Amino acid sequence: MSANKKIPATLIRGDGIGPEISAAAIAILDALDAPFDWDEQQAGMAAFDALGTPLPEATLDSIRKTRLALKGPLTTPVGEGFRSISVELRKLFKLYANVRPARTYVPGGRFEDVDIVLIRENTEGLYVGVEHFIPIDDDPHAVAEASGIITRSGSRRIAEYAFEYAIAHGRRKITIVHKANILKCLSGLFLETANQVAEKYRDRIEVETRIVDACAMHLVQDPSQFDMILTTNMFGDILSDLMAGLVGGLGLTPGANIGKDAAIFEAVHGSAPDIAGQGIANPTALLLAAAMMLDHVGENGKATRLRDAIQATINDGGCLTGDLGGKAGTDEYAQAVIAQLA
């Protein structure tokens, strides 16, 4: 790519710690001379407060145009109010593949050399939001009912994505994670279809299956058994946070939401209201998401420089945020990463 060719991309700073970590990420991407031409838009609680809607049409138009976004975390009211805008964006733009790598960056942690990529189906399952309360007598919430939706085509599409990803990235093994012993239709269809896709790759990629609860225990006992995990929406959401815990916490794990027509990059973590506004959040997860975004647009050299600068800053150890046992603020950490880029 020519030195001055800019790539239009939507930027959503997000809620809670979103503005703080986004500012750090943009400063570092500027120092890296990343090629993005940002179109800044709002979503989530910030948009709701400012514009009366958590998902303004201008934000959707921007993503339709750029087909590429870096997104800070968005707050979702619990139990009432608007539905998750992050989930809504994944549905609207058919971002069916959620790629969540967890890798050891912090030496001396609970486990050395964790390197697992979780591929999560991102648009189906229990997160389709088909749910309602059934009132009985004077209790409007007497019963709650939710439907999970799994399709053969959706399961095939995510399984093919996972196996192609494995081949493109030189991975060796995929663990298909399910709960088909209990959810014989919902999880059974996913398992059946993923196994059918796996047949085509068996000579190149090792395949195994595990039940989600046992998988959670095995991950905590010995993560080195795992290379890639392929699973459905909710199990992937839960296991990817568990994987973040294996490598030092949510401040360190990025995610990519990939579809045919658009891609949105974000941290795995949420808006962390407990530490918002204090200038102490770790921006690394969003930075690693930006590195995935650089890879996505073919800027692999800059992606590697960014990851190396993060690794060097963490190895140096003198300027770490509180979640990693340090005393540095978000901005101070960002300056340390910028110094490592030089």
Q: Whole-angstrom Cα distance, residue 227 to residue 176? A: 11
Q: Which of residues 227-256 bind ligand NAI (CB under 6 A)?
A: 250-251
Residue 234 one-letter amino acid: M
Of 163 and 265, which has the nearer Cβ to ligand NAI? 265
Q: Which of 139, 213, 222, 261 is catalytic?
A: 213
Q: Whole-angstrom Cα distance, residue 56 to residue 52? A: 9
Instruction: Tell whether residue 125 is a contact of ligand NAI (CB under 6 A).
Output: no
Q: Which of residues 305-324 bind ligand NAI (CB under 6 A)?
A: 323
Site string for ligand NAI, 211-230 (x = CB under 6 A): --------------------
Q: Whole-angstrom Cα distance, residue 267 to residue 70? A: 9
The yes-or-no answer on residue 261 being catalytic is no
The yes-or-no answer on residue 127 being catalytic is yes
Instruction: Tell whether residue 80 is a contact of ligand NAI (CB under 6 A).
Output: no
Element of type H or E holding 92: helix 85-92
Instruction: Tell whether residue 86 is a contact of ligand NAI (CB under 6 A).
Output: yes
Instruction: Tell me the three state secondary structure of residue 311.
Output: helix
Of 294 and 320, which has the nearer Cβ to ligand NAI? 320
The yes-or-no answer on residue 173 being catalytic is no
Residue 142 one-letter amino acid: A
Candidates 199-207, 212-220, 281-289, 309-317: pick the segment binding ligand NAI (CB under 6 A).
281-289
Tokens matching residue 169: 């990235």
Candidates 27-35, 69-77, 101-109, 298-306: pick the segment binding ligand NAI (CB under 6 A).
69-77
Q: How far is the CB of 120 from ligand NAI (least distance, A)?
A: 12
Q: How far is the CB of 280 from ligand NAI (least distance, A)?
A: 7
Residue 27 one-letter amino acid: A
Q: Whole-angstrom Cα distance, residue 319 to residue 263? A: 32
DSSP label at 56?
-
Q: Whole-angstrom Cα distance, residue 290 to residue 41? A: 17
Q: Whole-angstrom Cα distance, residue 276 to residue 17? A: 5
Q: How far is the CB of 323 from ligand NAI (least distance, A)?
A: 4
